[in-house]
Structure 1
Amino acid sequence: MLFASAERHAGRVAIEQEGVAIDYRDLPDLALGVCRSLMAAGVQAGDRVAIWAPNCRDWVIAALGVHCAGAVLVPINTRMKGAEAADILQRSEARVLLMQGQFLGVDYPAMLQPWRPASLEQVVVFGAAPAPAAADLDWLTFIGNGAAVSETQARQRAAGVGPRDLSDLLFTSGTTGKPKGVMSAHGQTLRAFNEYVKAIGLLPGDRYLIINPFFHAFGYKAGWLTCLLAGATILPHAVFDAEVVFQRIAAERISVLPGPPTLYLSMLAHPRLAETDLSSLRIAVTGSSTIPPVLIERMRVELGIRVVTTAYGLTECGGLATMCNPDDPADVVAGTSGRAIDDTEVSIRSALNQPVATGESGEICLRGFHVMRGYFNDPEATAQAIDADGWLHTGDIGNLDAAGNLQITDRLKDMFIVGGFNCYPAEIEAGLIQHPAIAQVAVIGVADERMGEVGCACVVLRQGQQLDASALIAWARERMANYKVPRHVRFFQALPVNASNKVVKGELRDAVHA
C-alpha cells in the first residue's frame, strides 16, 4: 500500500503539519529510513516495536517504518502513566520504544524510567534535540545509525511482509482489568479500511483533520491509514480544543472531520458559525454516544456536511464491523450503526449462543475476515472471545432490524465510555483499592453532559479512616490515565451484594441516581 500510494499519488500532499508538507512520493524513503535504523538496532521481522506519542507526523512515518521492517506495531496511550506503559511494554516484549519527549508538560522518558522493563533494549525520543537522560537516543542519531543498513536490504525486508503477517498489537482492557494485546494482520486491516474508504467516499486530495488519537483504531486505521489508501492529506491534531478545530476547518480547508457528537454540537453553538466559511467540510463520521436524529439533520443542513455517517466496531475486529450508508435517513444514521461491511456476518445470539429472531436483543457476535487473530500470549482469553464456530463475542447487547441495521442497546461488559475511551471498572477498582484508607470500592459509569459518561467510585472506608472525594480524585490522577480517574465519589457504609457476595452494580446505580 505504501509503495503503491507513493506512485499513484505522487505530487499530492500526504502529511501536513505546521505548514510543512510531505509529498506522497517521499513517504517510502522516510519510512525506509526508520526501517533501516530498526534493522541496525537488531529488530527482526515479527519483533514488537512500540510508539508512545501524540498525533504527529513522526508517528505516521515511524509506524510505516516499523511495518516496513516486518515488525509489529504496539501503540501506547499518551494518557498512561509510567507503570501502565511499562506493563504493556513488558507483556508485548517490545524491544524498541519510539516516543515523545515532552507533551502537555509531562516528561515521558522520565515518567517511564523507574518502571522500564529489562526487555526494552532501546528508547528513542522524537525531535532533533539531544536525548534526555532517561532515553537512549534522539531521533537524528537513531536515523543516522540506519546508514549501517543499505536501502536495498530495507526494501527486501519490506517486500517480504505478507498479508497474514501481524501488523499491530492494540492493547484493550478486558473485564479482568488487564489490557490484552489484540493481534491484527496487514491484509485484514487493508481490506476492512478499503471498505471504509468506499463507504464514506474519501477522495484523493481530501484534507482529513485527525483528532482521534493514533494509538486508537479510529485515529490509526480509520484515520491516517485510510488517508494513505485514498490519497488524502493527513492533518494530525494532537490536543482537542473545539475552538482551535473550528478555526482550522476554515483556515486549512478541512474536508473530512470525524469526531464525537460533542464536537459537532460545539460547532453548531459557536457564536461565529454564521460568518465562518465551513464550505470545505464534506464528510463526518461520528459515534461512541447516543446521537439525537436532529443532530444528523443539523450537521447536514447548518454545517453543510454532505456525508454524515455512523459506524460500529471494536479493537478485536480491527475497529470496523458495521456502517451506515451516508444516504440513509437521519433516524437510521442516528439510531443505528448500519449494516455489516462486505464479507462480515453479524449475529444476535442468546445466552445459550443461539441466534435470536429479528428485532430481539442479545449479544452482538461477529464473524469474518477482520476478526482478530487472537490475544497476544493469551490463548485462554482468546478462546473465551472467539467460539468454536468463529464467532467473536463482543460483550455488547443489540438487535438487528429487518433491513439488517444494527442497534446497540447495552453492554454485557461492565464498561463505560469516557469521551470515546473505554473504561473498565475492574481495572480502575484494582488501582483505587491500593489507597490505604479504602476497604472496598466499586466503579460505575454515570451520565455526563460533556463526556457522555464518567466514572463514579463507590467507596467503603476502612475502620477509623477518613478520606474526602477531592483527595481521592487527586490521588487517582497521579496514578492512572486521566480518562480512568473517577469524576465522582460516593461513600457507603457497605456495598450491596448478591448471594454470591458479588457487588450488585444496578443497586449502586439506583443509589447514586437517587
Structure 2
Amino acid sequence: MTQPQTVPAALRAAAAAHADRAAVVDGATTLSFRDLHAAVRDTARGYVALGLEPGDTVCLWAPNTWEWVVAGLAVTYAGGVLVPVNTRYKGEEVADIVERSGARLCVVADGFLGRSQVEELRTALPGMGRVTAIVSIGTTPAAGTTAFSSLPDLGAGVSGIDAIATGVGADDIADILFTSGTTGRSKGVLTTHAQTLAAARVWTQNCQVTEQDRYLVISPFFHSYGYKVGIIASVVSGCALYPMAAFDADAALAMIEAERLTIVPGAPTIFHSMLESPAFATTDTSSLRLANMGSASIPPRLIERMLSELSFELVIPAFGMTECVVATMCRPGDPDEAIATSNGRAVDGLEMRVVDPATGEVCESGTAGEIQLRGPMVMQGYLDDPEATAAAIDADGWLHTGDVGTVDADGNMRITDRLKDMYISGGFNVYPAEVEAALARLDGVVEAAVVGVPDERMGEVGKAFVIQREGADLTQEQVVAFLRERLANFKVPRHVEMVPDLPRNASHKVLKPELRARG
C-alpha cells in the first residue's frame, strides 16, 4: 500500500488505523487519534474563516501542549505552511519572523512564562504586517484576539475543509523552521510534506516505534526534533505523545514512573539532569525502552550511564539538523562500540562524505573533515535567501553541514565538533567536544563546555566551564592534571571556571558564543 505523502493524509490514515488509541496525553486532557483528527478539522475551518488560504503561512508561538499539536496540524490541513516560533524569543525576534515569513495568522500562547506575548508582538510590529488575526491560546484571550477555543464555532459554516486538505501536494512546502541562530541571524528552512514525513518515518522505523509506545516529548515543538520526530512521528506510528511545556528533571522522572513512559529523546543535558536529580534514586524508570539523542557530540560515559542506571534497553545516537532532520542513526543491534562512540550510519537514501574544508578534497576513512550530505531529505533551501542557500548547498547538491567528523570503514560517523567551535592553539586545531568527552569521565563533573579564548602567546587556549556534582570540591589544578593524563598538551585547557549552570537556548544547546564573551 502506498504511504500517505502529505501531513493531512497521514493524519487521516492515523485516525482510521488507531481511532481509539491515545494520541496526545497532556495532564487532564487526552485526545484519541479520532479526537485529534476531529479537533484538527474544526480548527482548520476556523483558520479558513479568519482568512487563511492555501499556501499562506501561520506563525505558531507556544509551548509543548495539546493545543500546539492541534493548532500545528490544522495549519497544513487548511493548506497552509506552518512556521513554529521559539518560545524563548522576545517580541522583536518574533516580529522579524512574522514579517519575513509573510504570516497571515499568528497563534500565540499568551501568558507563558509570565509574559504577555501578544502585547510584545503588537509593540514590536504595530501594523502587524500581513497578519489578519491573532489567535490566543489560554483561558483568558488577550483583548482584540480570537480565542483558540472559539475556532470550531467560528468555522462551523465553512465547508470543503477535507477537499482543501486533499488538495495539498507532496511537493508543497509544509513548514518553515527557523534555525536556532546561535551563530548568526536565523534562517528559514523550507521543507516539503514528503520530506517532513520521510524524516519521521525513517526515525520511527530505525527506533522500532509502535502504537504501544508512550513518548515523553521534551524537545520543543518549534524544533525539528519536537515537531517532526515528535508530533509527526506519532502520526505515522500511532504512539501516544506526552508533551512537556518546560523541562524539569523531577517532573520528568515523575511522569516516567506514573505513566510508564517508554521513549525519551533529548539533548545530553536532559539525561545529565535526570541522573543528577535527587529524585532519581527513588524513581522507577524500568518502563523506559528507547532513548535517542540527536546531538552533534555525545559523551560516551553518558550513554553508559543511561543504559546501566536509567534502565534504557536501547540508546540510539543520531545526527541531524534543521536542514536535514535525520541524517545518521545507529541501529538496534549495532555493536556497543559503535553506539558509544559514533552518531551512526547514513539513513537510507542519503549520501554522506567527509571533505577537507581547506582543499575541498574527499577525506579517507578515519580522517577528520566537514560532514556533507546529499539526498531527498536535504532542505529545499532558505526562505528568500538564495545567497545563503548557495553557500549551504553546492552545485552538486551537497549540503555543507559545518560539522567536523570522521567516518570509519563501516560507515559509522563520529562528530568531532562544529567548524565554528574549533579553535587553534599554537598552530594546532582543537575540537572542544573531544575535551568535553574526556571531562565527562572525571568524578565530580556533571557537565562541561570548552571554548577557545584569546592568548597573546598561543593565539587561543582552551577554557573549560565545569558544573560540579553537589558535594564535589574540584580545583582547576585537579581538572588540568586529569586532562594532561589523557590528552595532548595543546588540547588541555589553560583556564577552568566552576559554574552553577551553562547558558542554553530553548533546545538545550549550550550557547558557546556567550561563554566565549565571558572569556
TM-score (norm 1): 0.79
Q: Report if the CA contact (8 A) 2:297-2:415 is conserved.
A: no
> Which aligned pairs between 1:89-488 and structure 2 lie closer than 5 A?
89-116=98-125, 117-129=128-140, 131-133=141-143, 135-150=144-159, 153-172=160-179, 177-271=184-278, 273-288=280-295, 290-317=297-324, 319-351=325-357, 352-413=359-420, 447-449=464-466
1:189 Cα deviation from its structure 2 partner: 1.5
Q: Report if the CA contact (8 A) 1:94-1:120 is conserved.
A: yes
1:253 Cα deviation from its structure 2 partner: 1.0
- Aligned in 2, Cα 1:158/1:298: closer, same or farther, shift over 3 Å? same
- Aligned in 2, Cα 1:155/1:191: closer, same or farther, shift over 3 Å? same
1:268 Cα deviation from its structure 2 partner: 3.3
Q: Partners of 1:77 and 1:366 in 2: how far apart? A: 26
- Aligned in 2, Cα 1:488/1:400: closer, same or farther, shift over 3 Å? closer
Q: Report if the CA contact (8 A) 1:262-1:450 is conserved.
A: no
1:339 Cα deviation from its structure 2 partner: 0.2
Can you list the C-alpha shifts for 1:204-261, whole angstroms capped at 9, x where unaligned?
0211010110000011111121112111101110111111111111011111111222
Q: Secondary structure at the match of 1:407?
A: strand
Structure 1, 211-220 or 269-278: larger mean CA deviation:
269-278
- Aligned in 2, Cα 1:236/1:486: closer, same or farther, shift over 3 Å? same
Q: Partners of 1:102 and 1:365 in 2: how far apart? A: 41
1:91 Cα deviation from its structure 2 partner: 0.4
Which amino acid counterpart does residue 77 of structure 2 have in structure 1? C
Q: Secondary structure at the match of 2:54?
A: coil
Q: Partners of 1:372 and 1:289 in 2: how far apart? A: 19
Q: Partners of 1:123 and 1:257 in 2: how far apart? A: 33
Q: Secondary structure at the match of 2:378?
A: coil
1:293 Cα deviation from its structure 2 partner: 2.7
- Aligned in 2, Cα 1:23/1:450: closer, same or farther, shift over 3 Å? farther
- Aligned in 2, Cα 1:57/1:385: closer, same or farther, shift over 3 Å? same
Which amino acid counterpart does residue 330 of structure 1 have in structure 2? D
1:357 Cα deviation from its structure 2 partner: 1.1
Q: Partners of 1:485 and 1:287 in 2: how far apart? A: 18
1:27 correspondence with 2:36: yes
The alignment covers a number of residue pairs equal to: 440
1:411 Cα deviation from its structure 2 partner: 1.8
Q: Partners of 2:273 and 2:466 in 1: how far apart? A: 12
Q: Partners of 2:115 and 2:352 in 1: how far apart? A: 43
1:450 Cα deviation from its structure 2 partner: 5.2
- Aligned in 2, Cα 1:210/1:201: closer, same or farther, shift over 3 Å? same
Name the residue aligned to 1:72: 81
Which amino acid counterpart does residue 221 of structure 1 have in structure 2? K
Q: Partners of 1:205 and 1:58 in 2: how far apart? A: 23
Q: Partners of 2:163 and 2:268 in 1: how far apart? A: 45
Which amino acid counterpart does residue 216 of structure 1 have in structure 2? H
Structure 1, 165-174 or 30-39: larger mean CA deviation:
165-174
TM-score (norm 2): 0.79
Q: Secondary structure at the match of 1:357?
A: coil
Which amino acid counterpart does residue 48 of structure 1 have in structure 2? T
Q: Report if the CA contact (8 A) 1:175-1:414 is conserved.
A: no
1:16 correspondence with 2:25: yes
Can you list the C-alpha shifts for 1:173-211, whole angstroms capped at 9, x where unaligned?
568822111000010121222111111111102110101
Q: Secondary structure at the match of 2:206?
A: helix
Q: Partners of 1:240 and 1:91 in 2: how far apart? A: 30
Q: Secondary structure at the match of 2:254?
A: helix
- Aligned in 2, Cα 1:490/1:100: closer, same or farther, shift over 3 Å? closer
- Aligned in 2, Cα 1:379/1:302: closer, same or farther, shift over 3 Å? same
Can you list the C-alpha shifts for 1:7-34, whole angstroms capped at 9, x where unaligned?
1111110011113211111222111112
1:362 Cα deviation from its structure 2 partner: 1.4
Please report the RMSD computed on the Cα atoms of aligned residues, expressed in angstroms: 3.0
Which amino acid counterpart does residue 251 of structure 1 have in structure 2? A
Q: Partners of 2:269 and 2:511 in 1: how far apart? A: 19
Q: Partners of 2:37 and 2:463 in 1: how far apart? A: 46
Q: Partners of 1:132 and 1:275 in 2: how far apart? A: 42
Structure 1, 324-333 or 99-108: larger mean CA deviation:
324-333
Q: Report if the CA contact (8 A) 2:295-2:318 is conserved.
A: no
Q: Report if the CA contact (8 A) 1:172-1:315 is conserved.
A: yes
Structure 1, 104-113 or 265-274: larger mean CA deviation:
265-274
- Aligned in 2, Cα 1:381/1:185: closer, same or farther, shift over 3 Å? same
Can you list the C-alpha shifts for 1:37-91, whole angstroms capped at 9, x where unaligned?
1111221111110100000000010111101111110000000000001001100
- Aligned in 2, Cα 1:77/1:274: closer, same or farther, shift over 3 Å? closer
Q: Report if the CA contact (8 A) 1:293-1:331 is conserved.
A: no
**What 5-or-longer segments of structure 1 have no aligned partner?**
426-443, 452-475, 492-511
Q: Report if the CA contact (8 A) 2:296-2:415 is conserved.
A: no
Can you list the C-alpha shifts for 1:289-340, whole angstroms capped at 9, x where unaligned?
64333332332233221111111011011x1100011322333223211000
> Which aligned pairs between 1:487-506 and structure 2 lie closer than 5 A?
none
**What 5-or-longer segments of structure 2 have no aligned partner?**
1-9, 423-431, 434-446, 453-460, 469-502
Q: Report if the CA contact (8 A) 2:405-2:416 is conserved.
A: yes
Q: Partners of 2:11 and 2:202 in 1: how far apart? A: 17
1:484 Cα deviation from its structure 2 partner: 6.0
Q: Secondary structure at the match of 1:65?
A: helix
1:486 Cα deviation from its structure 2 partner: 7.0
Which amino acid counterpart does residue 187 of structure 1 have in structure 2? A
Q: Secondary structure at the match of 2:263?
A: coil
Q: Report if the CA contact (8 A) 1:326-1:333 is conserved.
A: no
Q: Partners of 1:320 and 1:341 in 2: how far apart? A: 7
Name the residue aligned to 1:470: none
Structure 1, 398-407 or 263-272: larger mean CA deviation:
263-272
Q: Report if the CA contact (8 A) 1:128-1:139 is conserved.
A: no
Q: Partners of 2:360 and 2:515 in 1: how far apart? A: 37
